[in-house]
Structure 1
């Protein structure tokens, strides 16, 4: 009888335990320099509890079979040594990390279109990509990094070589003992074949949710209904939490129409559009128990020199959206 009572008390206590705090993260852009406390304080100010560290490897073009990383000419934050320094400095401030090694194709071409022309090239590409990813899996393990992202927006690579990805995940697990995800583009995640092998369903959440010049929160919430239903279906299907490996909007007109747009037009700053779209995303997802949180795109280390009210790029820094994020992260 006493054993039953103890079990009942344990169940009751467990049911009363508050859910884990959401991942309130930023995508922390690599820099030529190491980071110091000065670079961390703005993250603490917005109540961030996670940062995505993003070292890069270089690929010459969309069909080039070699991945080059940790080169002497790369910025410090893109290297193995830099990744470790960033993560360890964040951890001293109780900020957790997701290590998210990524590919950069010459001239900024979209990584989702990477596709080799021959079997020999595929094998070379796989070999060099594995070397890159496994090197940073070791960094993640050595630094006790909480989450490791095995790839970002590699739709054609994933579609063409699913067996490779399954083996890669197994190889990563031999090195790294933490949680794994993959950052699928918003229109890619439904086709990604290996969610069962990962811990989070990762989505770069650039879903179109409004065609308005200055979308309202209500318009965006309405635009999220269909997408949200599909996302929840995946959480239920795989019994995995959803993680927005990237989310965010530019401070520009029509910010929610094609949120992935990165063209360099300098006009049409719209700070209200960035606030409303971000607020709607928070309202749509952050209270859901199947949603783990996410990483706002993007955050630069030299806080005082970036963003601002004349800037129409993604960063919320020194804009009204920064205040919104600070208030939201404080209570969630």
Structure 2
């Protein structure tokens, strides 16, 4: 087992907004000792019948555009916060990106050409702004499964324009099958692993729930001799937060701060001391700290909630 003695990536997933950011928007994340932020510009396509990614348009929010991503990175860097460029795609009708497949060879080629343009454009921006890390995709399992050759070629193209570190954000149930880890610097995992079925899971229950997952994660790190990076992690402040942590279901609306605190603490206790673990990005952090999260909020953000103290202490 290789050990990686580098400072942990103590990151937040910094949500794109309609406005630019300034020092005051970065201070709250510096206050919780975060040393990294994921910047997430967006592209979208309507459905599998028109798989051309639309991005960097006037209709999008500023933070989702190239200009916005650049402005965010410059302000973060000025405050000593490092950056992971993490472009996302969104599909109409709320379809999960991991399930997307094309109906013909022609459609696949159209999608590939479009995805290459999208990622290479942001790879160039990442190089230009000296972003420390680039995530080449997020939760695209079927795309990778059906078109592995395309991905190997894409990684080669990315390396020609971007000289920093590379990862890919595999879903928690996907990372074991991702075929190109040996070509990247970090094994990226969106860590929404189920850890407890309890309404208010205890730290102990979650630690127990992590054991089997941790063994597999550690094994994959060993197999490829690469550190693990949680490209996303976090829990909602709701009942049953550890049961299906990926759910953003609006019907789950019973506020439970203790559940969020305990699940988060167990994740930190399980991974943050491991040499093969590089760190991660909490999901998710909003620009306007004062108005984000709070005691009635049931969503993922840790802002203005008890869990913020746990993150600060670990980071």
TM-score normalized by structure 1?
0.93
Q: Give yes or no for the alignment of 1:132 onto 2:118.
A: yes
What do the CA deviations read for 1:149-207 (whole angstroms, capped 9, x no partner)? Answer: 00000011010000000000000000000000000000000111111110000000000
1:106 is displaced (CA, Å) by: 1.4
Higher relative contact order (CA 8 A, sep 6+): 2
What do the CA deviations read for 1:288-313 (whole angstroms, capped 9, x no partner)? Answer: 00000000000000111110111110
Say whether the 8 Å CA contact 2:293–2:302 is kept in structure 1.
yes
CA RMSD, 1 decimal = 1.0
1:62 is displaced (CA, Å) by: 4.1
Partner of 1:86: 72
Distance 2:253 2:311 in 1: 24
Partner of 1:109: 95
TM alignment of 1:249-288, pairs within 5 A: 249-265=235-251, 267-288=253-274
Q: Give yes or no for the alignment of 1:70 onto 2:49.
A: no
- Out of 28, 43, 48, the position equivalent to 1:57 is 43
Say whether the 8 Å CA contact 2:238–2:252 is kept in structure 1.
no
Aligned residue pairs, count: 312
1:47 is displaced (CA, Å) by: 0.6
Q: What secondary structure sits across from 1:107 in the alignment? A: helix
Distance 2:275 2:284 in 1: 25
Partner of 2:133: 147
- Out of 88, 104, 108, the position equivalent to 1:118 is 104
Distance 1:190 1:60 in 2: 29
Q: What secondary structure sits across from 1:231 in the alignment? A: helix
Q: What secondary structure sits across from 1:210 in the alignment? A: coil
1:328 is displaced (CA, Å) by: 1.2
Q: What secondary structure sits across from 1:159 in the alignment? A: helix
Partner of 1:208: 194
Runs of 4 or more, structure 1, over 6 Å off, are none
Structure 1: state its 5+ residue gaps.
1-17
Residues 309 and 190 (structure 1), Cα distance of their counterparts in 2 relative to 1, 3 Å cut: same
Distance 1:25 1:118 in 2: 39
1:90 is displaced (CA, Å) by: 0.2
TM-score normalized by structure 2?
0.98
1:19 is displaced (CA, Å) by: 3.1
Distance 1:240 1:154 in 2: 20
Q: What secondary structure sits across from 1:87 in the alignment? A: helix
Distance 1:162 1:232 in 2: 24
Q: What secondary structure sits across from 1:244 in the alignment? A: strand
Distance 2:49 2:30 in 1: 41
- Out of 289, 294, 314, the position equivalent to 1:308 is 294
TM alignment of 1:23-34, pairs within 5 A: 23-34=9-20
1:324 is displaced (CA, Å) by: 1.0
TM alignment of 1:192-271, pairs within 5 A: 192-265=178-251, 267-271=253-257
Distance 1:257 1:72 in 2: 39
Say whether the 8 Å CA contact 2:127–2:161 is kept in structure 1.
yes
1:63 is displaced (CA, Å) by: 4.5
